[in-house]
Amino acid sequence: MEEAQAEPAESAQARIPAAQQATDAIREALGLAHEALDRAVYVNGAGVLSDPSATSDDVRAALEQLERVQALLAATTWPTADDYDAEDYDEV
């Protein structure tokens, strides 16, 4: 008797759109982190942070977004090369 092979937990048809959504969320979070870091460092004429408290807040905001990215990366079942071969998808 031939054993049935186990089906993948998630099909390529489901993995690719899920990975696209995760990618969009990751790009958004990275953009927010970048914006926070852009705001983080303002120096006065003496070359000293003009508002260390605001810098701390901005760095914290960036870290929160980076933690979100890490969580999304870990939680997403990323497609394999075979998934892309098996599915018809729109390349961006």
CA atoms of 72 and 66, how far apart (whole Å): 10
pTM equals: 0.78
Question: What are the backbone dihedrals phi and psi of residue 51, each rounded to the nearest 5 degrees, phi first?
Answer: -150, 85
Tokens at 52, concatenated: 């260390």
Q: Does the pLDDT at position 4 exceed 70?
A: no
Closest CA to 78 of 19, 7, 14, 5: 19
Model pLDDT, residue 9: 54
Average pLDDT of the segment spanning 4-28: 82
What mean pLDDT is reported for the chain? 88
Tokens at 92, concatenated: 């961006």
Q: Does the pLDDT at position 90 exceed 60?
A: no
Model pLDDT, residue 10: 72
CB contact at 8 A, 21 and 46: no
Q: For the purposes of burial, counting CB atoms within 10 Å of the CB of 18, is it exposed (0-12), middle (13-18) or buried (19 or more)?
A: middle
Average pLDDT of the segment spanning 1-20: 70
pLDDT tens sequence across 35-67:
999 999 999 999 999 999 999 999 999 999 999
